[in-house]
Amino acid sequence: MTNFFDKTDLTRKNVDEIISETLKNCDDGELYLEDSKSESILLDDNKIKSSNYSSDLGFGLRAISNEVVAYSHSNEISKESLKSSSQNLQSTLKSSKGTYNHEIPKTNNKFYDEINPIEQKTLNSKLEVLNKVNEYLRNKDSTVKQVTASFSGEQKSIEIIRLGGEALTDVRPLIRFNVSVMLEKNGRKETGVYGIGGRQSYDDYLKNDNWKNVCEEALRIASVNLESKPAPAGEMKVVLGPGWPAILIHEAIGHGLEGDFNRKKTSAFHDLMGQKVASEGVTIVDDGTIDKRRGSLTIDDEGTPTERTVLIENGILKNFMQDRLNGRLMNTRSTGSGRRENYKHIVLPRMRNTMMLSGKQTQDEMIKSVDKGIFAVSFGGGQVDITSGKFVFNCTEAYEINNGKIGSPIKGATLIGDGPSILKEVSMVGNDMMMDPGIGTCGKAGQGVPVGVAQPSILIDKMTVGGTKL
């Protein structure tokens, strides 16, 4: 754990005094300290294209009065810079008359180890794996024309100091390994991409040549796409596979269940608490407590312990995701969902690992019940209007369903709809819930944070599919 005041002119007494002076008439706020180290290594076109290492150290000082947030940050931790930030905040909130909320729960839970994954494996050993990936895929299939593989790793140490001297700390590791392969056959080129990651060391993913599994999956996806035909278009039944397709739930529904959008009444769900918003059997949770998952947190970026928050239970809207500010203004509590990209950004209520829980049906039962439709296994990019939940998602792996059987792979399928409506069209929920492989990053208000998703197979009775087949 970083000692943030070891090489500064600040003492802990100085810090407590400045925080006390800054926040004495406020409702909430804190000093957020962060020390991050990150690396990225990229292989492309038979050679190592880049290898980067960066570190960043800084603080963010936040003061909250009613719903006004004053924020100042600096990459210099010193008495002068902290005092300057304090003065800026006091000037902004000079007429504030709040009562500081000292209440913050404690936790002894830890959902990942305090490790630095960057230092646990040498640069040469990472380069060796990337070169092996390239050689393995090119020897595997003569149609391979391009291989791209990358590592990224991070360690982030944080300390949150609140009024009264309370300090909360966390050390967060994060890694990701990604492989992309392009095949060419009879003049046609198609790409397959697959990645894994989480809050672990590289070795947890790569030991016993586990990197080969990532290569095989990227190759499989590319091979499927190579045999694909144009996707049909129209309104039809859609079966979503387990795992990564839950990105649709995350984007089209999850954002609409964040506290700030509902407090401001810009979410389609803002006045539906306690009402039926989805089909019976649909239960959606946001869970930050799953060991070593990409979206998990021991504490959030306000110091609140993370938790498992039930958002929708058997179709009924139960909760929103809250940070401290929006929880207070909505007369409820924080759900440990207050997150920021880094010390330069303010806290917002954000998702962690967003999941639809398993039901009782099998994927096979769903497929057999569809006369004409599509089976969507994986998604790429898409667009979402957070306030309405309207979305367009591109399928990166999908198949047609004819007379209850999976048919040919299809290319160019897009799923079009809106989250609130889709929830009510779910007629079957599978018993095969699966987490995504650990690659998600969520964007909101210009900030990106690592997240996870999960779901079982689900059958949506009616959905608009955009295709290329006339």
* Pair 157, 184: CB distance under 8 Å: no
CATH numbers and ranges of domains, the chain: 117-156+170-228 (3.30.2290.10), 234-466 (no CATH)
CA nearest neighbour of 159 among 23, 338, 34? 34
- Look at residue 219 in the predicted model and tell me its pLDDT: 97
Helix (H) or strand (E) holding 37: strand 28-44
Amino acid in position 234: G
Contacts (Cβ under 8 Å, ≥6 apart) of 128: none
Q: How far apart are CA 160 and CA 154, in angstroms?
A: 19
CA nearest neighbour of 279 among 459, 465, 463? 459
Contacts (Cβ under 8 Å, ≥6 apart) of 221: 192, 193, 194, 378, 396, 397
- Cβ atoms within 10 Å, residue 309: 23
Residues facing 378 on adjacent strands: 397
- Look at residue 469 in the predicted model and tell me its pLDDT: 67
Contacts (Cβ under 8 Å, ≥6 apart) of 311: 254, 257, 284, 285, 286, 317, 318, 319, 320, 321
Q: How far apart are CA 244 and CA 433, in angstroms?
A: 10
Mapped onto helix, strand or coil, the DSSP state of residue 90 is helix
Give, in degrees to the nearest 5, the angle at Cα 132 between 141 and 42: 105
Q: How far apart are CA 354 and CA 251, in angstroms?
A: 10
Q: What is the pLDDT along the chain (470 residues), one digit of tens a residue?
A: 789 999 899 999 999 999 999 999 999 999 999 999 999 999 998 999 999 999 999 999 999 999 999 999 999 999 999 999 999 999 999 888 889 999 999 999 999 999 999 999 999 999 999 999 999 999 999 999 999 999 999 999 999 999 999 999 999 999 999 999 999 999 999 999 999 999 999 988 888 889 999 999 999 999 999 999 999 999 999 999 999 999 999 988 999 999 999 999 999 999 999 999 999 999 999 999 999 999 999 999 999 999 999 999 999 999 999 999 999 999 999 999 999 999 999 999 999 999 999 999 999 999 999 999 999 999 987 788 877 889 999 999 999 999 999 999 999 999 999 999 999 999 999 999 999 999 999 999 999 999 999 999 999 999 999 987 65
Contacts (Cβ under 8 Å, ≥6 apart) of 429: 281, 282, 356, 358, 359, 360, 361, 456, 458
Q: How far apart are CA 166 and CA 160, in angstroms?
A: 8
Sign of the CA dihedral 266, 269, 272, 274? negative
- Look at residue 307 in the predicted model and tell me its pLDDT: 97
